Structure 1
Amino acid sequence: MPRPRQFDEDRVLSAVRSTFWDKGYAGTSLEDLMSASGLGKGSLYGAFGDKQSLFLRVLREYDDANDRMLRGWLDEADRGIDVVREFVIGSFRDPSGEYARRGCLLANAAMELSASTAEVAAEARRSYAATSAVLADAIRRAQREGDAAARLDPDLTAQAVLAGQLGLVVLGRIGQDPAALTLMAEALLTGLIPAN
């Protein structure tokens, strides 16, 4: 009979996610994962599989958490346009610049691994499709509320918003000033989602 786990799985996954996020997949060694998790190789891989399996689990959980957060924003927002604005601009308001420096774990992984790892490319497509769907719902709501032009195609506009936000994430990763990113984000939204 297998022994019960003697560690907090959520804490381990959070520590491992942070390590992958800071160092990237290739830059994260087994020693890094053991140090972050506090587990030995046998315990770590016995619980989560090999490095790639562990990374894919962390990435999927990160994506699912972001999807729940975005859907929660849409459920709770006073106006649909607020959800789109928060998605594009919100992360760059951090005065420390931490988010801009780290970027998005999914975007980082997609850029690093999509060409070589089919599972990462598939996860990125899945997650970005889910994000685009929520943004499209927010844009439809903004149209009903008079905050977005009726002529806009919500699905295409949502995809353009996502593409623009990802571009801002890349600029943040290379050291662009968060205040400048916020101004670019405002310009992006004004161009993509006119009120009439």
Structure 2
Amino acid sequence: MLAAVQAAFWDNGYAGTSLEDLLAASGLGKGSLYGAFGDKQRLFLRVLREYDEANDRMLREQLEQADRGIDVVRGFVAGPVRDPSGAQARRGCLLANTAMELSASAAEVAAEARRSYAATTAVLADAVRRAQREGDVAPRLDPDGTARAVLAGQLGLILLGRIGQDPADLSAMAETLLVGLLPAS
């Protein structure tokens, strides 16, 4: 049920998701929805936190299971733009979409975005350190600064995908970004 609620928020944004949308997505009546989750904002924050935590777990698992650290960073950057139809790129990332929509007006959303992006940056920095040990990335790079730049680049690609940038152009931009940020030894 929360997956359907998440999809409604993801597809329509917070402001564009009505109570009727949430009732239809959840299959609950108004009293049950409010009784289970409180108001729309609390439901949204719960869905957003679960989304962020799932993404954090997935990225950590990828780092544990990857053959090479650099593969994790490459997958992180290229993942959102890999779909040749551009459908995933146009949908964007729930957290990035939300941060653009609500961070200026909702302190809880801004705090959640900062928390989530800090966790992502930490995993990416670990991936860069591993890639350095494996000889795939120059040892002179600062892993933390590189991880922040990788995140910023990926968020830029997400934004460009949301506005309908050509998928082939997005893929080329991702590759150029990776070559620039992750020079070999």
TM-score (norm 1): 0.93
Structure 1 residues 1-196: aligned runs within 5 Å: 12-196=1-185
CA distance in 1, matches of 2:114, 2:92: 18
The separation in 1 between residues aligned to 2:85 and 2:138, in whole angstroms, is 35
Residues 136-157 of structure 1, C-alpha deviations (whole Å, 9 max, x = no match): 0000000000100000000000
Partner amino acid for 1:111? M
Say how many residue pairs are matched: 185
Contact 2:80 2:158 in 1 (8 A): no
What one-letter code is carried by the residue in structure 2 that aligns with 1:15?
Answer: A
Q: CA deviation at 1:91?
A: 2.4
Q: What letter corresponds to residue 130 of structure 1 in structure 2?
A: A
Taking only aligned residues, the RMSD between alpha carbons, in angstroms, comes to 0.7
Tell whether the 8 Å contact from 2:96 to 2:155 is kept in structure 1 after alignment.
Answer: yes
Give deviations 1:112-143, integer Å, cap 9, x for gaps.
Answer: 00010000000000000000000000000000
Q: Which amino acid aligns with 1:104?
A: C
Gaps of 5+ in 1: 1-11
Offset of 1:175 from its aligned partner? Answer: 0.2
Deviates more, 1:172-181 or 1:56-65: 172-181
% identical aligned pairs:
80
Q: Which amino acid aligns with 1:40?
A: G
Pairwise CA distance, 1:60: 0.1
Deviations 1:12-53 (A, max 9, x none): 110100000000000111011111111111111110110000
Return the letter of the residue paired with 1:195.
A
What is the deviation of 1:110?
0.3
Deviation, 1:97, is 2.0
How far residue 93 of structure 1 moved from its aligned partner, in angstroms, is 1.4
TM-superposed CA distance for 1:103, in Å, is 0.2
Letter in 2 for 1:19: A
Per-residue deviation, 1:160: 0.3
Q: List alignment gaps of at least 5 residues for structure 2.
A: none
Number of the residue aligned with 1:3: none
- Using the alignment, how far apart are the partners of 1:70 and 1:130 within structure 2? 10
Structure showing greater Rg: 1
What is the CA–CA distance in structure 2 between the aligned matches of 1:96 and 1:13, rounded to whole Å?
Answer: 27
